[in-house]
Amino acid sequence: MRAALAALTFAASVHPAAAQAFIPVDEAAFTKLVTAAKGKVLLINFWATWCEPCRKEMPALAKLERDLRARGFTLITISADEPEQEADAKRFLTAQAIPAPHYIKRARNDNRFIDAIDPKWSGALPALFLFDRAGKKSRGFIGETDIPVLEAAIRKLL
């Protein structure tokens, strides 16, 4: 899985066609994403096309990423859509100008996946998890998030 994830991430950065594919994320891949982002403040957004609050907050998350990228902030979005919804999810991310690579949850066991991310998380969407520069989870935001509160939490870690 590690080699496949690295190859897809590299391919997405070099070849535009590869950027069209979602990169699957399970528990191990999630941990590697967090580890790879050490040195940056990381916000991981779990969302789905069928989740209205998820779609509603995505433009604000994209703006935060653009505005704070130069200060060391990174946004990773992980779709919780089913395989038959991938095309809709890809169109949505493209319309929102969310940069590739794009990730999609593909866990063998949803409960184990959710517990690995945060045992307090029920799996409800949207779900945002904020990590400091050391890769330590700083805070979770479940459900509709007050963007100014989220931004303040991010800026505190920058």
Q: What confidence category does residue 20 fall into, taking pLDDT thresholds of 50, 70 and 90?
A: low
Domain that holds residue 123: 22-157
**Within a domain: residue 108?**
yes
Tally of domains within the chain: 1
- H helix runs in 96-133, sequence order: 110-117
**Within a domain: residue 56?**
yes
**Within a domain: residue 12?**
no
Report the amino acid identity of residue 136.
K
User: Terminal CA-to-CA distance of the chain, rounded, Å?
Assistant: 31
**Within a domain: residue 2?**
no
> Per-residue pLDDT averaged across 48-54, rounded?
97
How many degrees, rounded to 5, is the angle at CA 124 between CA 121 and CA 127?
75
What is this structure's pTM?
0.86
**Within a domain: residue 139?**
yes
Give the bridge partners for 22, in sequence order: 102
**Within a domain: residue 92?**
yes
Q: What is the CATH number of the domain that holds 85?
A: 3.40.30.10
Tens digits of per-residue pLDDT, 118-156?
999 999 999 999 999 999 999 999 999 999 999 999 999
- pLDDT of 99 reads 85
- The percent of residues in the chain predicted with pLDDT above 90, rounded, is 85
**Within a domain: residue 8?**
no
Pairwise CA distance, residues 107 & 111, whole Å: 9
Q: What confidence category does residue 57 fall into, taking pLDDT thresholds of 50, 70 and 90?
A: very high
**Within a domain: residue 69?**
yes
